[in-house]
Structure 1
Amino acid sequence: MSARDHLANKRTFLAWVRTAIALMGFGFVIAKFQIFLHILVHQQLSSTSLLGGVIMIIMGIATLLYGFYEYVEQEKELKKETFTPRLTPMIVYTILLTILAIALVVSLYVSVS
């Protein structure tokens, strides 16, 4: 266990944080743009676009929480000087985010049709 290992773990966590911020920011932009269009051209508010923004924000929050979980677990393993890759949480996380993304695409497609 070296400082290099802990710093690498911290850099990985910061990458999770950057990804979460990007997802939440994009979700915020989607929702705010829909509200902006409503105000600017009196276009009816589309609950689908707002839902899309909310889904992106939820994906960002989930990413942040999962990144923190991974950081804490890897710190524990670094202190014990044992490392075992955890595939199951990553697979579950990937499947959940994929389902949310597909729901977002379908909801946006339905609103355009």
Structure 2
Amino acid sequence: MSAGDHLAAKRTFLAWVRTSIALMGFGFVIAKFQIFLHVLAHEPLTSSSLLGGVIMIIMGIATLLYGFYEYLQDEKQIKENKFEVELTPMWIYTGLLTLLAVALVVSLYISAYP
């Protein structure tokens, strides 16, 4: 157990944080762009118009929470000097993000072809 191990775990967590910020920022841009398009077209804004942006923000939040969970698990394993791979949380995270991504695609399809 060295300082390098802890620093590597922290760098990995920061990569999760950067990814989550990018997803949330992109979701915000999608939502703002939808508002802009509705204002230009003089159409009322509906909640389904913002769904794509909201889904991306939720994906960002899920990524941040999962990254923090992984960081805590890594730190625990470093302290115990025991390294085991747990695939169940990764499967759950992957499934959750896949469902959110499919919902985003469906939302974009429905908004493009009403």
Q: Give the TM-score of the pair, scaled to structure 2.
A: 0.93
Q: C-alpha separation between the residues in 2 aligned to 1:107 and 1:37?
A: 16
Q: C-alpha separation between the residues in 2 aligned to 1:84 and 1:76?
A: 11
Q: Calculate percent identity across the aligned residue pairs.
A: 75
Opposite residue 86 of structure 1, the aligned amino acid is E
Q: C-alpha separation between the residues in 2 aligned to 1:72 and 1:28?
A: 28
Match of residue 8 from structure 2: 8
Q: What is the 5 A alignment of 1:45-60?
A: 45-60=45-60
Match of residue 74 from structure 2: 74
Q: Secondary structure at the match of 2:54?
A: helix
1:85 deviation in Å? 0.8
Opposite residue 18 of structure 2, the aligned amino acid is R
**Aligned residue pair count:** 113
Match of residue 95 from structure 2: 95
1:82 deviation in Å? 0.6
Opposite residue 111 of structure 1, the aligned amino acid is S
| Structure 2 gap segments, 5+ residues each | none
How large is the Cα RMSD of the aligned pairs?
Answer: 1.2
8 Å contact kept, 1:26–1:56 = yes
Match of residue 109 from structure 1: 109
| Structure 1 gap segments, 5+ residues each | none
Q: C-alpha separation between the residues in 1 aligned to 2:16 and 2:24?
A: 12
Q: C-alpha separation between the residues in 2 aligned to 1:17 and 1:58?
A: 14
Q: C-alpha separation between the residues in 1 aligned to 2:37 and 2:103?
A: 23
Q: Structure 1 residues 42-51 or 6-15, which shifts more?
A: 42-51
Q: Structure 1 residues 83-92 or 46-55, which shifts more?
A: 46-55
